[in-house]
A and B are shown apart, each in its own frame.
Chain A
Amino acid sequence: MSPTRTAAVIAACASVIVLALFPFYADAYFLALAISLLQFTVLATAWGLFSGPTRYVSLATTAFFGVGAYTVAVLGELLAWPLVLIIAAAIGALMAVIVGISTLRLSGLHFVIFTFGLAELVRQLVIWYEVNRTRVLGRYVFVDITQSDIFWQLLGLAVAVFAIGWIIARSRLGFALRIIGEDETVARHCGINVTIAKVALFTVSATFMTLVGAIMAPRWTYIEPSIAFNAKISFEVVIMALLGGAHRLWGPALGAIPLTLLFEFLSARFPSASTLIMGIVFLLIVYALPSGVVGLWDNVTRRWHEQRAGQGATA
């Protein structure tokens, strides 16, 4: 391992340990803010896992998030917590496989629209089921999970999403997805089973989103379809990942952190105009930073290297 990589691994471990201690000295407000930050970091990173290399823009985040939350609402009181999480992950993964197989043959724009419709479809199905079968529209989530527990679980999930992303990027699957993102026809002619590769990564990404929803559910105590399947989450995650830059593993986190803080500030300060300001922020990001913070960073470092090379040549 190179010295810089060792340093990076040590720094990452140290920061995870420091973050894990956070609930012991933070008050309720900052703990809630930290939970939001972790929630969107995991969601945006998971989104980037699939959409970064394949360049398929998915608006299905909230569909998986909501399925996770609803699994907890239904099973939370009946089963042990780890078992509830495992079941939620399994349902999310199964749904992703089905959705993936049926939609990933679609081209870019059709895929965007389908994923947007999917979230709405799942929401309407849940409403229909609750109204006609169980005759309740909302459910109480009574599980013995504290805010600190939510924080630690999300922190664990964040570590897992980065670790798995790192492993995938260095695997044959990661290489296959980069080729697919560049040119699907070439990928097929290189012997890559494009459908399996895309469905596999879509499923990994969706499983993380489902788990975030499941872990976050106890925070609400009361959920109904409009809370669990809120389309805003899907859009926010896309904006965050684009601001950060989805073509790098750590890019979406760079967008998730500042934007979560900004949305938090806006909804506290300008509750009625926050959506409007969010829209303007989105436009500005797409206009000014088409490759995100990561793209900006790449440009700066490239220029710096070129400058150094230039100086070396003249010296």
Chain B
Amino acid sequence: MRPAASPVLEIRGLTRAFGGLVAVNSLDLIVQSGEIVGLLGPNGSGKTTALNLVSGVLRPDSGVIRFAGQDIAGMATHRIARLGLGRTFQLVRVLDGMNCAENVRAGLAFHPARRAPGELHETAVRLLERVGLKGYELRSATELTYIDRKRLELARALALRPCLLLLDEWLAGLNPSELLIGIALIRSLKDQGLSILLVEHVMDAIRSLCDLCVVMNGGRKIAEGSPETVLSDPAVIEAYLGAAADA
């Protein structure tokens, strides 16, 4: 038996306020290697702020974020990305002025492990295939359907050879059949050994994908555990599902 590896991501006492509003309040969160951790909570509970703190878009007021063996709290976004943190966004961000291969090359070209120019294109083609966009290299990103734009964004994040992937509502807005494809795709990434922290509202996805769920409300962590445990937790139901249960 090998000793338990250190966690991929370890967040301790993470806090960030905007004026008087404490968006993230002493959050503790751990993503173990190869795990999918779901970050849940009602709108405005601080999930996206937490992701922005991890990927370096925002600076924390206090707290520790250990990733890839370093404290990355307050580090510049591009340096965190180079350490192997891939990310997708709540509102899909693809580069509309470029074709699909160029979109993926954007994630490849600035990685510290340089590749030869020919290899860049090959790797981009392979990553597009990986997310289900085989043969789309020369298509303009503007021509893609919604789910394909999400796939393209995911391929770009994978291009960083991430050891941790942050997915911000990657499955939101997909129709039921696309949802199955999306869930299978994320699971295949986990099977490949990738660790994932995902913000998600789609309950089916949370139940079938997450090893661990952390629920936030008003910036604080209110529950943690397996999907079944947290989704039946009265505090979570009150905070998160209360409105839906009443309806």
Contacts and interface: CB of A to CB of B under 8 A. Distances in A.
Interface stretch (A56-64, A161-169, A175-183, A227-235): A175-183
A7 B79 CA distance: 43
Contacts, number: 64
A192 B95 contact: no
Contacts of B57: 185, 188
Contacts of B96: 182
A170 to B, nearest CB: 10
A253 to B, nearest CB: 22
B106 interface: yes
B83 to A, nearest CB: 9
A42 to B, nearest CB: 26
Q: Which of B78, B79, B89, B107 has the most CB of A within 10 A?
A: B78
A188 B78 contact: yes
B78 A179 contact: no
B111 interface: yes
Nearest to B57: A185
A63 to B, nearest CB: 29
B107 A190 contact: yes
Q: Which of A172, A175, A182, A189 has the most CB of B within 10 A?
A: A189
B78 A194 contact: yes
B156 A190 contact: yes
A226 interface: no
Interface string B192-214: 00000000000000000000000
A223 to B, nearest CB: 42
Given A190-B156, A190-B160, A182 B78 contact: no
Interface string B137-153: 00000000000000000
B112 to A, nearest CB: 8
A250 B89 CA distance: 35
Interface residues of B toward A: which range? 20 to 34
A191 interface: yes
Interface residues of A toward B: which range? 10 to 19
B68 interface: no
Contacts of A186: 93, 95, 106, 156
Contact of B109 (A172, A181, A188): A172
Interface string B220-245: 00000000000000000000000000
A161 to B, nearest CB: 23
B55 A189 contact: yes
B81 interface: yes
Nearest to B96: A182
Interface string A190-223: 1111100000000000000000000000000000
B93 A185 contact: yes
A190 B93 contact: no
Q: Please report whether the interface of chain A is mostly helix, strand, loop or mixed according to DSSP.
A: helix
Contacts of A187: 78, 106
Contacts of A185: 57, 89, 93
B98 A178 contact: yes
A187 B86 CA distance: 12
Contacts of A175: 105-106, 109
B118 interface: no
Q: Which of B79, B95, B160 has the most CB of A within 10 A?
A: B95
B98 A188 contact: no
Contact of B81 (A176, A181, A189): A189
Contacts of B56: 188
B47 interface: no
A178 to B, nearest CB: 7
B95 A191 contact: no
A179 B93 contact: no
B20 to A, nearest CB: 25
Interface string B51-77: 000011100000000000000000011
19 contacts: A172-B110, A175-B105, A176-B110, A178-B97, A182-B98, A183-B93, A183-B95, A186-B106, A187-B78, A188-B78, A189-B77, A190-B78, A190-B106, A190-B156, A190-B160, A191-B79, A191-B107, A191-B112, A191-B160
Interface of B: 55-57, 76-79, 81-82, 86-87, 89, 93, 95-98, 105-107, 109-112, 156-157, 159-160
Given A172-B110, A190-B81, 7 more contacts: A178-B97, A185-B57, A185-B89, A189-B78, A189-B157, A191-B110, A191-B112
